[in-house]
A and B are shown apart, each in its own frame.
Chain A
Amino acid sequence: EIVLTQSPATLSLSPGERATLSCRASQSISTYLGWYQQKPGQAPRLLIYDASDRATGIPARFSGSGSGTDFTLTISSLEPEDSAVYYCQQRSNWITFGQGTRLEIK
């Protein structure tokens, strides 16, 4: 099973700042990685797929990069509504998710 490790576990930033979230795979997964945002009491929402493609309706301030084992989700200028837990997901071998990064907006 491919294990995804996300860091940091928690991130606390102010509006307008840049957020950088990391996801590392236990083996190479090419660009078969996506990112989701989940707010309390809601289902996850797909943000990024295939490492860097934005899903429909996702604001341009969300971007993804990486390949192989190291991936990054960047939120260029934080808005208060970006407060959520962010998960990465791989589809290279079955489907697994990272443990999540909690992003708090001060």
Chain B
Amino acid sequence: QVHVVESGGGLVKPGGSLRLSCAASGFSFSDYFMAWIRQAPGKGLECIAYVSGTSILKTYADSVKGRFTISRDNSKNLVFLQMDRLTAEDTATYYCARDLKQWVIGTFFDNWGQGTRVTVSS
């Protein structure tokens, strides 16, 4: 059974940094693209980054480009999101999600974690 669990959220001051982790299990981890998708309080969904199975391809939304870095460790079935220069607009629940199809870029997301909340406030 596929399982995805995020951790690392919390309260951080504007300009600060935070590193989110996502632990995955129940599937051949290195075969799948993984993504981070966030949802501001009471708002819709925004895909902010995804990474290919081999980490060769990493893509970011314009809203986080240059501030956030996605990475993965296939030996430990982990995905990370390093978030720097945080602003209030980054306050959201951050979800880690698995791509629907093996080896294919950016399709749809069929397995999500429960989310980890990030609050940026002084």
Contacts and interface: CB of A to CB of B under 8 A. Distances in A.
A56 B27 CA distance: 15
B100 A46 contact: yes
Contact of A43 (B47, B95, B108): B95
Contacts of B44: 87, 97-100
Q: For chain A, what secondary structure do more than half of its interface residues adopt (helix, strand, loop), or is it mixed?
A: loop
Nearest to A56: B110
B69 to A, nearest CB: 18
Contacts of B115: 43
Contacts of A99: 44
B110 A44 contact: no
A2 interface: no
B45 A91 contact: no
A55 B108 CA distance: 10
Contact of B108 (A46, A96, A98, A100): A46
Contacts, number: 49
B11 interface: no
Contacts of A55: 100, 108, 110
B102 interface: no
Interface string B50-90: 10000000010100000000000000000000000000000
A34 B114 CA distance: 20
Contacts of B106: 91, 94-95
Contact of B47 (A46, A49, A97, A100): A97
Interface of B: 35, 44-47, 50, 59, 61, 95, 97, 100, 106-110, 112-115
Name the 6 nearest CB pairs between A and B, nearest first: A43-B112, A95-B47, A97-B45, A34-B108, A49-B108, A46-B110
Given A89-B45, A94-B59, A99-B44, 6 more contacts: A43-B113, A43-B114, A44-B45, A45-B112, A46-B109, A97-B47
